[in-house]
Amino acid sequence: MATIFTKIAKGEIPSYKVAENDDFYAFLDINPLVQGHTLVIPKNVEDDYIFNLDGSTYEGLWDFARKVATALKAAVPCKRVGVAVLGMEVPHTHIHLVPLNSEADMDFRKEKLALKPEEFAAIAESINKEYVKIC
């Protein structure tokens, strides 16, 4: 059965899309740690453990994540973009990209932000505009 993230990449479940190419997809985390918290996934590989990915998917995923992180940093003011790979909840490899101004921004135990749909949409659009510039 397809994972929820495969359904998102196929457009069967809505998401706030940030960037996309043939093989990879980036969208806003629905329970963000901070504004701009983004998830990056391979579209066609559902393995739930990043270190099981084949070499080309693994390298392509990180290359795409770097482009998305560059766009994210340009769109959302922050000191740097933090990276995390957890996979404790959704069994489909994904990289968290989190705009950081302090170490505490990356604390996954803290209360998540409750953003309005229009806020999610505006953030996703602003990151996508930066992504388009660098691609």
Closer to ligand AMP at the Cβ: 89 or 118?
89
DSSP characters over 21-32? -SSEEEEE-SS-
Spatial CA neighbour of 28 closest among 79, 99, 86, 134: 99
Neighbouring C-beta atoms of residue 118, cutoff 10 Å: 8
Pairwise CA distance, residues 130 & 128, whole Å: 5
Q: Is 113 in the site for ligand AMP (CB under 6 A)?
A: no
Binding mask 3-42 for ligand AMP (x = CB under 6 A): -x----------x-------------xxx-------x---
Residues 93-112 that bind ligand AMP (CB under 6 A): 94
| Residues of the shown chain interacting with ligand AMP in the complex, contacts defined by CB under 6 A | 4, 15, 29-31, 39, 86-90, 94
